[in-house]
Amino acid sequence: LYSYDATSFQQIPDVVVMPRSEEEVVEAIQFARQYGLSVTPRGAGTGMSGGAIASTGAMIISSEKMNRILRIDVERRVALVEPGVLTGDLQEKVLEKGLFYPPDPSSYLVSTMGGNVAEGAGGLRCAKYGVTKNYVIGLRVATADGKIIGTGTLDSEYHGHIAHGRGVESRAASHNDYFSPDLTPLFVGSEGTLGYITQIMVRLIDPPETARAMVAFFPTASQAAEAVTAILTKPLMPSVLEFLDRMTLTAITAQVSLPVPEHAEAMLLAEVDGNADTVAGDLTSVIDVCQTHGGFGIEEASEPKQRDHLWELRRSVSPSLTTLATGKINEDVCVPRGELIHLVEWCQALSDETGLMIPVYGHAADGNLHVNVMYDADDRSQAKLAYNTVERILQQALDLGGTLSGEHGIGRTKRPYLHLQFSPEALELFRRIKHIWDPNRLFNPDILYPSPEELALAK
């Protein structure tokens, strides 16, 4: 159960620990050091880059028993949670109090807040609302030397400050609770390499008054990509704007009911939200643009139930692709939005050239595409071809001015390619940052930060 995540990596850990408190986390870390084990923090194991997979000789510290929402403060619009709280649970609980926590990775119903923070998770709504990084304002972290460090709004909590007067549970600066100097941004997206997160404070915002969605089909993937660019230059920022290509549609329709018109080579799913006065007009604008770019079979989904059906559909994509082939490598490259069309067309040509199925879908408004290379897992030569193909996709995204990862993290899967994106100087600084926190590489030694060998390769 603790040996795998959503990648194809697998490693049975030597020890699994399920602490119930910060003190028990510290004890577990001290135990690991004493017995020469490395430490891998683990949430729900939904990660797409191998961050929760143990190294050889490792202890997994699972957050499953630290799953309390410690506080929802309506006046300050913040929530304080333990790392094992499910993202969807937090969203539900804050919505009951009239507030909104936007980040929504597809796995939000089962993924944990600790995992979301560690991976810097994104989601469908992130083009408009920003990613996990934009909401985390304070952390408490157990470090490799068995200390607890508070960052951002949580720095004061257990500090001498309390000695000066009444207890202060957390610190507020400006509306966004940002102040300098702050160590928080170093931890968000650090993939369990710098310490074990024991508490997370996030800021909350007002939920949108209302929302409307639509689905449109296109005769070619290129036209759908053009429509995306046109929508975003209106200016109009949908809360969701998802692209799905033909192969992705085929995989979904094999699993769930979705009437896909003939000749549909791509689909766009869009949602606009906000003020009731403006939402209807915004949806009309989106539909107009889709029609201008050849969109057809357009259907509106104004009722919450219809919308929920669309998002369930979208969230079923990644699992449903596994029906296409036994092997699947899911890369979440990003490109500047104007280059979407080039990446989509290039992937189609690559599929023709290699004979591999390469379904493409994703958060179009972010330029964040999930490019999946499907292969027969029992066929070694095809597996090799698939991995070579993935490397070409990563390089192509970089050549288009994009990045290796949009929201899945670097982890194990993209670590060998870090030097393609980052300069040797930047990689050396990453190594030094790791060294500050964790000089003996106790935490996730094979994840994210380059090893000395990889640094040598980059030079």
Contacts of its own copies in 205-264 (CB under 8 A): 206, 229, 233, 235, 237
Rounded to whole angstroms, the Cα distance separating 224 from 266 reads 6
Q: What is the CA radius of gyration of the chain?
A: 22
Helix, strand or coil for residue 224?
Answer: helix
Which range of residues in 21-29, 299-307, 310-318, 331-339 is near its own copies by CB under 8 A? 331-339
Q: Report in angstroms how near the CB of residue 260 gets to its own copies at its nearest.
A: 28
Binding to its own copies, residues 264-283 (CB under 8 A):
275, 277-278
Residue whose entry in the numeric block shows the structure tokens 């991995």: 387
Omega of the bond leading into 102 within 30 degrees of 0 (cis): no
Rounded to whole angstroms, the Cα distance separating 363 from 235 reads 18
**Distance between terminal CA atoms of the chain?**
39
**What are the angstrom distances between the C-alpha of 90 and each of 43, 61, 121, 148?**
15, 22, 15, 24
Q: Report in angstroms how near the CB of residue 88 gets to its own copies at its nearest.
A: 21
Please, which residue, 167 or 259, has the CB nearer to its own copies? 167
Size of the residue set binding its own copies (CB under 8 A): 91
Q: Report in angstroms how near the CB of residue 407 gets to its own copies at its nearest.
A: 7
Q: Report in angstroms how near the CB of residue 450 gets to its own copies at its nearest.
A: 10
Which range of residues in 20-28, 58-66, 288-296, 396-404 is near its own copies by CB under 8 A? 396-404
Omega of the bond leading into 336 within 30 degrees of 0 (cis): no
Tally Cβ neighbours within 10 Å of residue 433: 15
Nearest alpha-carbon partner for 329 in 384, 368, 366: 384
Residues 17, 66 contacting (CB under 8 angstroms): no
Helix, strand or coil for residue 200?
Answer: strand
Q: Report in angstroms how near the CB of residue 430 gets to its own copies at its nearest.
A: 6
Q: Report in angstroms how near the CB of residue 267 gets to its own copies at its nearest.
A: 21
Q: Report in angstroms how near the CB of residue 227 gets to its own copies at its nearest.
A: 15
One-letter amino acid identity for 269?
L
Alpha helices, DSSP H, located in 293-379: 304-315, 317-321, 340-354
Instruction: For residue 415, state whether it binds its own copies (rule: CB under 8 A).
Output: no
Rounded to whole angstroms, the Cα distance separating 320 from 93 reads 30
Please, which residue, 1 or 163, has the CB nearer to its own copies? 163
Rounded to whole angstroms, the Cα distance separating 437 from 99 reads 35
Binding to its own copies, residues 142-161 (CB under 8 A):
147-151, 155-156, 158-161
Binding to its own copies, residues 2-61 (CB under 8 A):
none
- Given candidates 37, 86, 188, 268, which one binds its own copies under the rule CB under 8 A? 188
Rounded to whole angstroms, the Cα distance separating 320 from 180 reads 44
Which range of residues in 23-31, 82-90, 171-179, 323-331 is near its own copies by CB under 8 A? 171-179
- Given candidates 405, 413, 444, 446, which one binds its own copies under the rule CB under 8 A? 405
Q: Report in angstroms how near the CB of residue 155 gets to its own copies at its nearest.
A: 6
Instruction: For residue 185, state whether it binds its own copies (rule: CB under 8 A).
Output: yes
Binding to its own copies, residues 114-133 (CB under 8 A):
120, 122, 126-128, 130-131, 133
Please, which residue, 262 or 425, has the CB nearer to its own copies? 425
Rounded to whole angstroms, the Cα distance separating 62 from 17 reads 6
Instruction: For residue 368, state whether it binds its own copies (rule: CB under 8 A).
Output: yes
Q: Report in angstroms how near the CB of residue 417 gets to its own copies at its nearest.
A: 12
Please, which residue, 37 or 131, has the CB nearer to its own copies? 131
- Given candidates 146, 259, 304, 401, which one binds its own copies under the rule CB under 8 A? 401
- Say which residues have a Cβ less than 8 Å from residue 26's Cβ, sequence separation at least 6: 142, 146, 147, 148
Binding to its own copies, residues 72-111 (CB under 8 A):
75-76, 98
One-letter amino acid identity for 369?
L
Question: DSSP assignment of 293-317, as one string?
Answer: TT-EEEEEE-SHHHHHHHHHHHHTH
Please, which residue, 24 or 399, has the CB nearer to its own copies? 399
Q: Report in angstroms how near the CB of residue 283 gets to its own copies at its nearest.
A: 15
